Structure 1
Amino acid sequence: MPVLFTPPAPVSLPIQGSSQRFPVHRVYCIGRNYGDHVREMGGDAQRSRPVFFMKPADALWLDDAVPYPGATSDLHHEVEMVVALRHGGHEIAVADALACVYGYGVGLDLTRRDLQNLAKADGAPWDSAKGFDASAPISALTPASVCGHPQHATLALQVNGATRQQADIAQMIWALPEIIHELSKLWTLQPGDVIFTGTPAGVGPLLRGDRFHAALGDIATLEGHLV
């Protein structure tokens, strides 16, 4: 079937130790998944219904030069464990969820905090605060066949050499199998789906010229700078 114009190239992620790439379908995110972060944002850290939102697949950013977005004067970093799915399904059981995982990485959920606060005050969606261009810098993926399925790993972010965020992924309110289970009740998950699993306390501003280093234990690292 002829098309009106050449479509954009599919989004894909590099894989550690492989010449193959991971083709991306959708990018899901969970909010309010570390109690200390919920509290620092003024919320109630009691476990309740999970909060999900999405970013466009082409918001994933692989260049170490990350563009500072327009329409904000308060860009915040949120470091997160990232999970890539090789299998999907609908209403996936918690016990079956980890079998869907291809691999792990680390990423930043960049947030226009000023726009998010305005949206919250108006009861409006967060799309412009979360889903903008280059809003999801991400590392290469490490296959689960190499690193296993980590139950404990230090998730950390340094900005200009100073630690801003650090926590163990075991502190997540919703563990990864539960996240996959809950997501699959709302959407039929597909191979190629990517999940940002929430951020710990310490979120704060990034400025042009800032350099960052994110790590998920010895599984994945991400380095870059704002331009």
Structure 2
Amino acid sequence: MFTNGAVAPFSLGSIFCVGRNYAEHAAELGNAVPEAPLLFSKPAGAVQAVRYGQPSTIVIPTGQGACHHELEIALLIGKPVTAELLAHLPEQSDAAILATISGVGLALDLTLRDVQDQLKQAGHPWERAKAFHGSCPLTDFVPVADMGPLDAMRLRLLRNGNVQQEGDATQMIFSLAALLREIAQVFSLQPGDVVLTGTPAGVGPLQPGDELTLELVTGSKQCLQWHVRVAAANV
């Protein structure tokens, strides 16, 4: 059912991320709801692999303030999506856009929240808070053919047995197709690229020793879980 590794059969490409795509998450951080998708990126070195069917360990930095969890649905791109392609598609052709998705998984957009707040106050970019080494724990991908309706997906994060985050694709401010359109018009999307689609409310700090369960409920009602232990980085 799963791809062989995080992005097989493609080489890992760019990781495009979407901020504030759930209204309740924007509200919990005191941010305005955006009128257009808020985009940023992470380098390939940000990935930490999280494997299905076996316990995984992720590391978080210490000594830089709070490191928050932000659980997100992750899309693996299987076919190119470019501005040229979009120009030849009807404006509402969501099916054609969604057909470029090869697989679906989960990701943690790890965020150094204190660092991010400082950067925001100074008017600086967020990369130090969002794109540091290891800032993107990423699960295996489920082939999209096994997912059922994509707009029926649900995600949930349990931390030490307690529900911390949960949401579903219908709560997104910008739909999956709208996100792919926006990203492709600015950057283009290529096979092996990954799109993180935004996080629901309930973000909070992680601690070394935390036990996490990352849960994805497919549109066909299958519940998939990945189990993760949090450890401190050795630097």
Q: TM-score, with normalisation over the residues of structure 2? A: 0.85
For residue 149 of structure 1, report the CA deviation from its aligned partner. Answer: 4.2
Secondary structure at the counterpart of residue 138 of structure 1: strand
Could you say which residue in structure 2 is the equivalent of 1:51? Answer: 38
Deviations 1:187-214 (A, max 9, x none): 1211111000000000000001111111
Using the alignment, how far apart are the partners of 2:224 and 2:140 within structure 1? 7
Secondary structure at the counterpart of residue 121 of structure 1: helix
For residue 71 of structure 1, report the CA deviation from its aligned partner. Answer: 4.6
For residue 43 of structure 1, report the CA deviation from its aligned partner. Answer: 1.7
Deviations 1:138-174 (A, max 9, x none): 1110011222341112210000000000112110001
Please say if residues 107 and 222 of structure 1, whose CA atoms lie closer than 8 Å, have aligned partners that are also in contact: no
Could you say which residue in structure 1 is the equivalent of 2:60? Answer: 68
For residue 70 of structure 1, report the CA deviation from its aligned partner. Answer: 4.1
Q: Identity rate of aligned residues, in percent?
A: 34
Q: Match for 2:2 among 12, 16, 26?
A: 16
1:107 aligns with 2:107: yes
For residue 24 of structure 1, report the CA deviation from its aligned partner. Answer: 1.2
Secondary structure at the counterpart of residue 99 of structure 2: helix
Using the alignment, how far apart are the partners of 2:162 and 2:3 within structure 1? 30
Structure-to-structure mapping, 1:1-227, within 5 angstroms: 16=2, 21-45=9-33, 47-63=34-50, 64-91=56-83, 92=86, 93=89, 95=93, 96-217=96-217, 218=222, 220-227=224-231
Using the alignment, how far apart are the partners of 1:130 and 1:18 within structure 2? 27
Could you say which residue in structure 1 is the equivalent of 2:53? Answer: none
Using the alignment, how far apart are the partners of 1:71 and 1:128 within structure 2? 14
Please say if residues 101 and 144 of structure 1, whose CA atoms lie closer than 8 Å, have aligned partners that are also in contact: yes
Partner amino acid, structure 1, of 2:101: V
Partner amino acid, structure 1, of 2:2: Q
Displaced runs of 4+ in structure 1, greater than 6 A? Answer: none
Partner amino acid, structure 1, of 2:72: E
Please say if residues 98 and 149 of structure 1, whose CA atoms lie closer than 8 Å, have aligned partners that are also in contact: no
Secondary structure at the counterpart of residue 152 of structure 2: coil
Partner amino acid, structure 1, of 2:32: D
For residue 220 of structure 1, report the CA deviation from its aligned partner. Answer: 4.3
Please say if residues 3 and 140 of structure 2, whose CA atoms lie closer than 8 Å, have aligned partners that are also in contact: no
For residue 129 of structure 1, report the CA deviation from its aligned partner. Answer: 0.3
Using the alignment, how far apart are the partners of 1:86 and 1:21 within structure 2? 9
In structure 2, stretches of 5+ residues that fail to align are 51-55
Q: TM-score, with normalisation over the residues of structure 1? A: 0.88
Please say if residues 74 and 196 of structure 2, whose CA atoms lie closer than 8 Å, have aligned partners that are also in contact: yes
* Pair 1:187–1:17, CA change in 2 (3 A): closer
After superposition, the CA RMSD in angstroms is 1.8
